[in-house]
Amino acid sequence: MACSELKSVDAMIDRPLVVFADDWGRHPSSCQHIIRHLLPQTHVYWVNTIGTRSPKLNLATMRRGFEKAGQWFRPTMPSSTLPAGLTVLNPKMWPWYGSSFGRALNKKLLRRQLDKLIRSLPASPLVITTISLVADLIDELAADRWIYYCVDDFSAWPGLEQGVLREMEQNLVRRADVVIAVSEMLQAKLASMGRSAHLLTHGVDVKHWSEVADGPPLPQLRGLEPPLIVFWGVIDRRMDVAMLRRLAGDLATGTIVLAGPECEPDPALFTIRRVVRVGSLPFEQLPYLARTAAVLVMPYTDAPVTRAIQPLKLKEYLATGRPVVVRDLPANRPWADCLDLVTGADQFSQAVRLRIAEGLPTSQRAARSRLNSESWQEKARAFVSLLLAPQG
């Protein structure tokens, strides 16, 4: 989505924001969607941080390592490439955060690189973080208040330093001035840590997903046998291989398209006939990908990590006007009248093949009208009110 198409919120924030989150522009995260709507009325200092996955000896880690190293040679992103009112910082960080040494080093590095900037601001900033890796900084930076925007349960993700992330999150939850969660499951998790959290679910730009101009087919899809059953997002161990294997075996024709970055998925995924991985696509191309799909799917496993997620793509899928088949998970249930919920491989295969044959039911199409009240602009307004909410 082009920045010029975004209408800013009439934000009443009398101080700058400092945001610790994923790399700006790398993934269209909920935090990035919201922050775009606060610009340019509010100046935002976005801090690109290391990921939550410790480096390993593999090609993906090497690529990511070179990418981060390249950023560190540019302490700030060029302002000419950014929306007005946004400054993006690339501080150096130690990627192995799982030890006390790594935590202490990162605290020292970040304090040294950010303290002077923060003290130079015209007012003490509001600090927002979507990650717990910066919990040790709460007493180190001259902030007006800290806001924890809890977007996922990273301590349950496979392959991460779960114990350390859990400890740092507990510290962050205990010390933050305001806590916001994107799902009721995350609210419940935070309550188990002794803290109530405000609920703010994800938004969607209905126009971006529903009004797709005509254009040539995506080159990544050339030669693929229709109908296309499409998933986009991170391809990792959350994918239910049994679901995809059963569907692939039941299809007489068609291709299951997986679009997105890969993060140590089950190798069995690569042996399934009719499954094609097309890699990551730019955010702007995803509506075109959806337009070619007969059905959009989320074939996730039923596990603690997936029960806590609030996937951005759920409302994006619904806004495309395509049939949607998803695993029965807490985040999906409020939209059960807009899609098909399934609980296993047999139901998944049956539902997908039914939607290929019959398309989107009239009742589901009508139910999706409530997406119009779920805009990112409205979510940003709510976010601003929560930033300034009384402490507690």
Domain segments of the chain: what residues?
Answer: 3-203+375-387, 206-373
Q: Please tell me the predicted confidence (pLDDT) of residue 1.
A: 36
CATH number of the domain located at residue range(s) 206-373 in this protein? 3.40.50.2000
Question: Above 90 in pLDDT, residue 241?
Answer: yes
pLDDT for 10 equals 62
Name the average pLDDT for the chain: 88
Quick one: pLDDT band at residue 138, thresholds 50, 70, 90?
A: very high
Which residue, 74, 72, 77, is CA-closest to 93?
72
Can you say whether residue 52 is alpha, beta or left, with left for phi > 0 and alpha for psi between -120 and 50 degrees? Answer: alpha
Q: Which of 129-143, 149-163, 285-299, 348-362 has the lowest mean pLDDT?
A: 149-163
In this model, does residue 391 exceed pLDDT 90?
no
Domains 3-203+375-387 and 206-373 share a fold: yes
Q: What is the dihedral of CA 236, 239, 303, 189, to 10 degrees?
A: 50
Q: Once rounded to an integer, what is the mean pLDDT over residues 233-240?
A: 94
Q: Are 19 and 128 in contact (CB under 8 A)?
A: yes
- For residue 84, what pLDDT is reported? 94
Which of the residue ranges 22-31, 125-134, 160-169, 215-224 has the most confident prediction, judged by mean pLDDT? 125-134
Three-state SS sequence of 81-100: HCCCCEEEECCCCCCCCCCH
pLDDT in tens, 277-313: 999 999 999 999 999 999 999 999 999 889 888 899 9
Q: Which CATH number is associated with domain 3-203+375-387? A: 3.40.50.2000
pLDDT at 182: 94
**Separation between Cα atoms, residue 330 and residue 328, nearest integer Å:** 7
Say what the pLDDT of residue 64 is: 46
End-to-end CA distance of the chain: 36
- Model pTM? 0.87
Q: Are strands 145-150 and 126-129 parallel, antiparallel or unpaired?
A: parallel
Assigned token pair, 391: 């402490």
- Which range is least confidently modeled, 113-127, 160-174, 179-193? 160-174
Token look-up 């709460």 returns 138
**For residue 354, what pLDDT band results from cuts at 50, 70 and 90?**
very high
pLDDT tens figures, 314-324 = 999 999 999 99
